[in-house]
A and B are shown apart, each in its own frame.
Chain A
Amino acid sequence: MERIEAIKTIVEQLDDELIICNLGFPSRELYSIKDSPRHFYMLGSMGMASSIGLGLALTQKRKVIVFEGDGSLLMNLGSLVTIYSQSPKNFILIILDNGCYATTGSQCTYALQVDLSKLAKGIGFKKVFKFEKPHEINMRPILEKDGPIIVHVKVEPGNADVPVIDMNPEEIISRFMKIISSDK
């Protein structure tokens, strides 16, 4: 399964959740599948997706979904410990694990040696779901549960042929903040 298929399968099952999307191709792929003011596209600061999502989950009620990469998560592994300790009920971390740094040329990550689901369970996360194939992904029962939840999706290396995001950073953040404050 390619990552874009996984993102598409998941997004089609979502409703009005807030999405924080990791930088590089994941954001470009999400943007090309579906754009929404409820999406925050990262353009830099690799490793910060799960942390931004945590801050957002702790300060408002709506469900927060983070599209995280394996390389990015490995860059900020302490984040998993903080998420577990803070334990926000409205937080779902989706790890799109292709075992490589796809945006920088597909160099391997240590996620090929280390099972990130097992790692999350070792930290203490009770709700860890793992999917190996796109058609198996069923978000409905996951969305009904209290978080924090880890969804580990194994995908193939590679990026879809999608254009760069033609929005500037201030547009991305201002419409995102507007939608959060309007529904608060």
Chain B
Amino acid sequence: MDSSKAIYKALKDNNINFIVSVPCINLARVLEMIDQDKEIKHVPVTREEEGFGIAAGAYMAGEDTAILMQNSGLGNSINVIASLYKLYKIPILMIISHRGTRGEFMKAQIPMGEATPLLLEALKIPYHVPSTPEEAYNDIKSAWKLAKAKKYPTAILLEVSFW
């Protein structure tokens, strides 16, 4: 299975119908597939924190939501995750392109890349790091199941080598 298709198919098969996003070069093809899908409402946002706010509103109306973003966006979203999602118990699937890991060509990505798993741990957000498309498909399924059951954000970290 192709890596981008695996992510898209997993979102579809888990009935995630409301997606907010801030682009990342690695997510570009997934975003294209989502854009072409009439069954998914896709809202591009100006900043990740804003995306979490919009997805929270959609969740209140009964939608199943995901955010697609680069790991820099996690840094922009710490407060909304803590004081909206954790406080009110709101689920969301976070698909995070994890820059700054093995194979990264850009030095600027490394500090935030290193901080990313630690930030998720500090927020007590369960996460998976799949290394193949098949693993990613299965990890998304279990991460979303857990998010819904615990009413809590869960994350998928897609490292540079995944693509």
CA distance A177 to B18 in the complex (A): 17
CA distance A83 to B153 in the complex (A): 24
Q: Chain B residue with minimal CB distance to A180?
A: B61
Q: Is residue B84 within 8 Å, beta carbon to beta carbon, of the partner chain? A: yes
Q: Mark contacts of A158-182 with chain B using CB atoms, 8 A cut-off: 1 yes-contact digit, 0 otherwise.
A: 0000000000011011001100110
Q: Chain B residue with minimal CB distance to A62?
A: B61
* B-contacting 9-mer, from A4-12, A26-34, A48-56, A109-117: A48-56
CA distance A46 to B49 in the complex (A): 11
CA distance A181 to B79 in the complex (A): 28
Q: Is residue A184 within 8 Å, beta carbon to beta carbon, of the partner chain? A: yes
Q: Is residue B50 within 8 Å, beta carbon to beta carbon, of the partner chain? A: yes
Beyond A44-B84, A45-B83, A173-B90, whether A56 also contacts B46 by CB under 8 A is no
Which of A48, A79, A172 is in CB contact (< 8 Å) with B46? A79
| Contact between B88 and A180, CB atoms less than 8 A apart | no
Q: Chain A residue with minimal CB distance to B65?
A: A55
| Contact between A52 and B62, CB atoms less than 8 A apart | no
| Contact between B87 and A177, CB atoms less than 8 A apart | no
| Contact between B61 and A56, CB atoms less than 8 A apart | yes
* A-contacting 9-mer, from B3-11, B52-60, B93-101, B109-117: B52-60
Which of B45, B49, B57, B79 is in CB contact (< 8 Å) with A56? B57
Q: Is residue A150 within 8 Å, beta carbon to beta carbon, of the partner chain? A: no
| Contact between B83 and A44, CB atoms less than 8 A apart | yes
| Contact between A169 and B61, CB atoms less than 8 A apart | no
| Contact between B50 and A59, CB atoms less than 8 A apart | no
Q: List 16 A-B contacts (CB under 8 A).
A: A20-B57, A42-B84, A44-B79, A46-B79, A48-B50, A48-B53, A51-B50, A51-B53, A51-B54, A55-B58, A76-B50, A78-B45, A82-B46, A172-B88, A173-B88, A184-B62
| Contact between B89 and A52, CB atoms less than 8 A apart | no
Least CB distance, B148 to chain A, in whole angstroms: 14
Count of A interface residues, CB-CB < 8 Å: 36
Q: Is residue A81 within 8 Å, beta carbon to beta carbon, of the partner chain? A: yes
Q: Chain B residue with minimal CB distance to A53?
A: B57
Q: Chain B residue with minimal CB distance to A85?
A: B44
| Contact between B83 and A82, CB atoms less than 8 A apart | no
Residues from chain B with a CB closer than 8 A to the CB of A54 are 53-54, 57
Q: Chain A residue with minimal CB distance to B18?
A: A59
| Contact between A170 and B88, CB atoms less than 8 A apart | yes
Q: Is residue A107 within 8 Å, beta carbon to beta carbon, of the partner chain? A: no
| Contact between A86 and B43, CB atoms less than 8 A apart | yes
Q: Chain B residue with minimal CB distance to A80?
A: B46
Q: Chain A residue with minimal CB distance to B17?
A: A59
Which of B18, B59, B87 is in CB contact (< 8 Å) with A44? B87
Which of B47, B51, B60 is in CB contact (< 8 Å) with A180? B60
Q: Chain B residue with minimal CB distance to A61?
A: B61
| Contact between B57 and A82, CB atoms less than 8 A apart | no
Q: Mark contacts of B126-147 with chain A using CB atoms, 8 A cut-off: 1 yes-contact digit, 0 otherwise.
A: 0000000000000000000000
Least CB distance, A50 to chain B, in whole angstroms: 8
| Contact between B79 and A78, CB atoms less than 8 A apart | no
CA distance A52 to B50 in the complex (A): 8
Q: Is residue A60 within 8 Å, beta carbon to beta carbon, of the partner chain? A: yes
| Contact between A43 and B83, CB atoms less than 8 A apart | yes
